[in-house]
A = this chain, B = another copy of it.
Amino acid sequence: MPDTASRTERLTIDVRHREVLAQVLDKWSLSVLNELCERPCRFNALRRAVPEVTQKSLTATLRKLERNGIVERVLLATRPVAVEYRITPLGKTLRGPVDVLLGWSDRYLPEIERARDRFDAPSDGDR
């Protein structure tokens, strides 16, 4: 397995990296990102795309992503008014990492669930 360059040494993770990653990878951010990578979305369209998220959490997620420069909030001058969220160029750089992550979880989910079952049912099998 070839290293990404001549980097055999691991990166250290400081508090700022942790903060960024925590915000970008939080519970709902991935889903939102996943959606916005496809197309710009209005608020309620996002809610429909991610039905489990509450309005509050979605708002918070979007603010966080906006603050970090990952998504952009665009006011549309339509009849009543509308808001559209778009991925920014910076946000697009996240698509690769996000894809890798989602691919990983999709690929290994069954194996992880088996590991959990093994871990969670010790009294039942060890007796």
A residues near B (Cβ < 8 Å) are 4, 7, 10-11, 13, 15-18, 20-22, 24-27, 30-31, 34-35, 37-38, 52, 66-70, 90, 93-94, 96-97, 99-109, 111-116, 118-120
The 10 closest A-B pairs by CB, nearest first: A69-B115, A67-B119, A25-B25, A17-B105, A97-B104, A11-B102, A97-B100, A13-B31, A100-B100, A20-B105
A108 close to B120 (CB less than 8 A): no
Chain B residues closer than 8 Å to A116, beta-carbon distance: 67-69
Q: How many copies does the complex hold?
A: 2
- Interface centre among A22, A31, A101, by most chain B C-beta atoms within 10 angstroms, is A101
- Tell me the smallest distance from the CB of A25 to a CB of chain B, in Å: 5
What chain B residues lie within 8 Å of A101 (beta carbons)? 21, 25, 97, 100-101
16 A-B residue pairings within 8 Å (CB atoms)? A7-B99, A10-B37, A11-B34, A18-B30, A18-B31, A20-B109, A67-B115, A67-B120, A68-B115, A69-B114, A69-B118, A90-B111, A94-B104, A97-B104, A100-B100, A100-B101
Q: When A68-B115, A69-B111, A96-B100 are in contact, do A34 and B18 touch as well, CB less than 8 Å?
A: no
